[in-house]
Amino acid sequence: MATVLTAMFAITVANADDGLFDTDGASTVAGDILESRGDLAEGLGRGAVLRSLSAKRFQEAIDKQLENRKESVELYYDIKQLREEQLKEDRMSASDRMKIANKQKPDRLNENQIKRDTGEIYWPEPLDSPVLEPYRRPIEKTLAKRHQPNAEYREFDFIKVHRMVKRMEEAIDSIRDELDVRELVALKDYLVQIDYEARFDSKNNRVDF
């Protein structure tokens, strides 16, 4: 997958914008999205793929996500779904769970895709679009927690990254008709890798079960 991404995309480093976070470093999805609206018309002209993208399409997808959503309710149902999946897995034997996990697991991000000590991820186009900044920032901030002194990276942190990855998948789906099939597959595979990376703490122990 890394070979496909290298051939298809010019990898760029997402620049952090401290203005998206409160003074205490906290961040909310809704707050970040609202603060990012001034950037909707910027940064979408890089390369053939980006020229085909529409900031309006991205914004429509984001606005749709915001409708009738509350952070606490959304998080509750995400946790509930993961717990239900976990209960189903618990009914299997340990060996069966291991076989399924090994069969389905993607590759973790390599050193060319993430700086693990800072959580900084190299985002391929169009995942580096300014419109998606409110999703990238919480992902990187949460992954950085794994190497912060006296910080404990737990299942709750993985769930936060998992939610942000899902929102990015929804945004990409909103422009799927404007993307080549191979590009769409590569982008989704890359997001799956990020989600899988978030399942491990700094000692490479899984926190999701």
What confidence tier does 53 reach under pLDDT thresholds 50, 70, 90?
A: low
Q: What is the mean pLDDT of the segment spanning 32-55? A: 46
Give the pLDDT of residue 208: 84
Query: What is the spatial distance between Cα 3 and Cα 78, in angstroms, rounded to a whole number?
Result: 32
pLDDT in tens, 150-191: 899 999 999 999 999 999 999 999 988 888 999 999 999 999
pLDDT, position 209: 72
85-134: per-residue pLDDT in tens?
A: 665 655 556 566 556 555 667 899 999 999 999 999 999 999 999 999 99
Give the pLDDT score at 105. 79
Rounded to whole angstroms, the Cα distance separating 108 from 3 reads 14
